[in-house]
Every structure is written in C-alpha cells, then in structure tokens.
Amino acid sequence: MKLFAPAKLNLSLDILGRREDGYHELSMVMLAVSLCDGLELDLTPRPGVLFSCSDPDVPGGEKNTACRAAALFLERAGLAETTGVRIFLEKRIPSQAGMGGGSADAAAVLRGLNELTGFPLSQEELAALGLRVGADVPFCLAGGICLAQGVGERLSPAPELPPCAIVVCKPPIGVSTAEAFRRADERTDGGKDYTGAVLSALRAGSLEAVGRTLGNDFEDVMRLPEVEAIKERLLRAGAAGACMTGSGSAVFGLFADGDAAKACALSLGEEWRDTFLCFPA
C-alpha cells in the first residue's frame, strides 16, 4: 500500500498554561497541507517492524514515530505474534520544522495498517493509539482544518480556509521545544488569544483577515532573527499574513495570488533550500 502523509501548519498556537501532569494546555487552529511524506507498507508473515527511509539520517526503531505506531497497532489488533510490517518512508517534510512530519508518518501508518488488516480498530481507537505516539497524531489522522485543544488531542471542526497558495520556508536552525515552553511559562502578560481571532476571521471568510490574525506563542517567546527575516520577505512578496508554525522553525505565508506565491517560493529557495509551495489539503 502506498500512502501520503500530509504536513500540518498552525494558523494559531496559544499556550494556556502548564498542567499538573507536566504537559501544557494548548489552543490551536491546525491545517493539513499538500506537502507530504510518502510511505509504502507491506504486511509480512514474520513478526516485527522493518523500516527504511530515503533519508539515511532518519532513525528506525523506537526513535521513529512510524515504527512505534506500527508496533502499537499490531499489538492492539492482536496481530503482533503472527504479522509484521515493512515500512519505506520517502521523506519530504523537513525535520525540526514544527510541521508534524513524524506525527503525519505515524498517522499514515495507523490508517494504512487498519485498512490492510480489515479495519479492526475504530477511528476513536486509532486516535487513542496515535496520542501515545505524539500529541499531533490525532489531528494528522483527522486532517483538514480543526480547532485543537488539550495537548492537541481534543479536535473540533473549524471553518474552511479561503482558497490560497502557501509558501513554507524553513531556515537551517533548530528550536528546543522544552526551552520554548520554559520561556512561555515565564511570561507575565498571559499571552494573546490568537486562536479566537483566527476562528473569527475564518468565519468571516476573508483570507486577508486570517492573515492579519495569524499568531504563535512560541514565535513570540523565541524571537528568532531568521524567522523574522523570512516573515518580512513573505509579506513584502504579497502574503496576506505570515507566521511560524508549531515550535518552529518553519515559517509560512498565505497568498491569494498563486503567481505571487510561486515567485516568492522561487526567490526564497535561492537562499533557503527547504522552501515549498503548497496548498490546503
């Protein structure tokens, strides 16, 4: 079976506070986009998970979300003793970008294995398994555009994003999620309600309004010069708005004009290799 694993973007990301269990309460509007990894799944009669990838730097085993998802699925479906799976990953979503690449891969594996084995698990069971792999996996299973709350697992429909092209650019810097959360915990202003503003703009059906309301608490507390530089380039090129996604470091811009988006992607790509033109999925 061949599958696609779409990346995600955060149109908004609000960190509401630290919970007693150590996790953080979040409120986000999340969007699946056409930039995706490709996966091939083959069931085997020999138990275990065999993994290979187009990118030799991507590890297998317990460190890999797709492998963990496969092992959890086979165990939950009662197949771990009699069935294995071979996974090949064609990696296109950049790592350490805040685009949920690993979560997207895990979600695709769960969907694919469920179909290959005759749908033994419900969507609710798949989402519960996915949450054990990563907080973004339930959204990656759902796709589309959603309001995500809790740690990201409580999903509800959000109004559709108006038609647009999206330019995504990831600078060659990594972001420590733990450090970003630490800085957010030290805030004294309580942050902003980006999610409420984005939802209102989506309900109005205006891409310009959505662009004006994009926001991400991680971006606010980290203030990365590379992110600011890419945002400025996107806005100068005609983006309705630009924002960092997730904990970074990828930045995206929403364009009403597809030709302007294509020209911007070509220009940014001359400086930053990981630049992509994509669309809402």
Cis omega (within 30 of 0) for bond into 95: no
Mode of pairing for the β-strands spanning 165-170 and 274-278: antiparallel
Reading the block at residue 158, the tokens are: 């959000």
At residue 149, φ and ψ (nearest 5 deg) are -130, 180
- For residue 57, indicate whether it is catalytic: no
Which residue is catalytic, options 8, 91, 170, 231? 8
The 10 Å Cβ neighbour count of residue 83 is 18
Q: What is the full DSSP assignment across 116-140? A: HTT--S-HHHHHHHHHHH-TTHHHH
Strand order in the sheet with 251-255: 241-244, 251-255, 165-170, 274-278
Cα end-to-end distance, the chain, whole Å: 20
Distance (Å, whole) CA 19 – CA 13: 17
Torsion sign over Cα 72, 75, 79, 85? positive
Which residue is catalytic, options 14, 105, 136, 220? 136
Q: Which of 256, 245, 251, 170 is nearest to 210 (CA)?
A: 256
Distance (Å, whole) CA 83 – CA 181: 40
- For residue 220, indicate whether it is catalytic: no
Task: Catalogue the active-site residues.
Answer: 8, 136
